[in-house]
Amino acid sequence: MGPSVSAAKLAVRTVLNVVAEIWAAHRSDAILSISEWETRHYWPKLTTSAKTWWLPYYVPDAYLDELQSSDSMKRLDCVCLTSTKSNPLIEDSVRGFQRAVSQSPEVEGWRFLVTGEASGVATSSRIENTGLLASPGDLLRGSRAVVLLSDLGFGFKTKLLEAIVAGNRVLVTPGLFRRVPEVLHPWTVEVDLDAVHSFTEALTLAAEPAPTGDPNRALREQHHAVLDELISRHLDPDEDALGRGQLL
């Protein structure tokens, strides 16, 4: 971000967040993270691995209809989703997308789009800026590929799962690919921005039908299983059935 008031505020907030997480890690009975990578590599540094649990994120049923439709026609659309507010991660992702598109002049038939507030970062004439959308559902149901070409940022990228649920391949950098849960790997394609033909090859794969399967259901079942396990561990075996029902 460079030297700025915003960068200084972010640095202070980062330090305060880490202090809060250390406190939470030692005071809590269990730490639940929606990021599998952070469950393995971050939280155990703050507490014991026995207290850290991966609680997968899944797209709630209420949003599935918005992302899935048998009437939608798939086009050769490649979408870079940003957000309602620009930040360094989003801007770096747009720059990575722009770099990938500029390295692939031989690609034909594909349309490249950037959504959200950061869409103005893209200056290539080959990239369409949609600006803010009321909902990305319509766009995702008709697209074939969604990109997040930045190694910045951790956590779990919920937009990638939403793109997969809508029938897309997700194109990510090798660094991000290593942090994507293995259950999503069949729908995830690595793009090396330092390899000239990597993006073109990823688009060729994205033009094919997406793999079969329902990763969202698998994540939902694991989510519920983790909560069931945690609740059962902390139930008092002497509680009556009413007490257990109230806790659940």
Spell out the per-residue pLDDT of the chain, length 248, in tens: 678 898 899 899 999 999 999 999 999 989 999 999 999 999 999 988 889 999 999 999 999 999 987 667 899 999 999 887 777 888 899 999 999 999 888 788 999 999 987 655 656 788 998 888 888 888 999 999 999 999 988 889 999 999 999 999 999 999 999 999 999 999 999 999 999 899 999 999 999 999 999 999 999 999 999 999 999 887 755 554 444 443 33
CA dihedral 103, 106, 108, 113 (to 10 degrees): 10
Q: What is the per-residue pLDDT for 241?
A: 45
**Residue range 215-246, pLDDT digits in tens:** 999 999 999 999 999 998 877 555 544 444 43
Give the pLDDT of residue 79.
96
Using alpha carbons, select from 170, 174, 165, 162 the residue that is nearest to residue 203.
Answer: 170
Beta bridge partners of 18: none
Helix (H, G, I), strand (E, B) or coil at 150: coil
Q: What is the pTM of this model?
A: 0.87
Domain edges within the chain: 5-59+216-247, 62-206
What is the crossing angle of helices 215-234 and 158-165, to 10°?
Answer: 130
Amino acid at 225: A
Report the pLDDT value the prediction gives residue 246, as an integer from 0 to 100: 38
Thinking of the domain 62-206, which architecture would CATH place it in? 3-Layer(aba) Sandwich (3.40)
Q: How far apart are the first and last CA of the chain?
A: 45
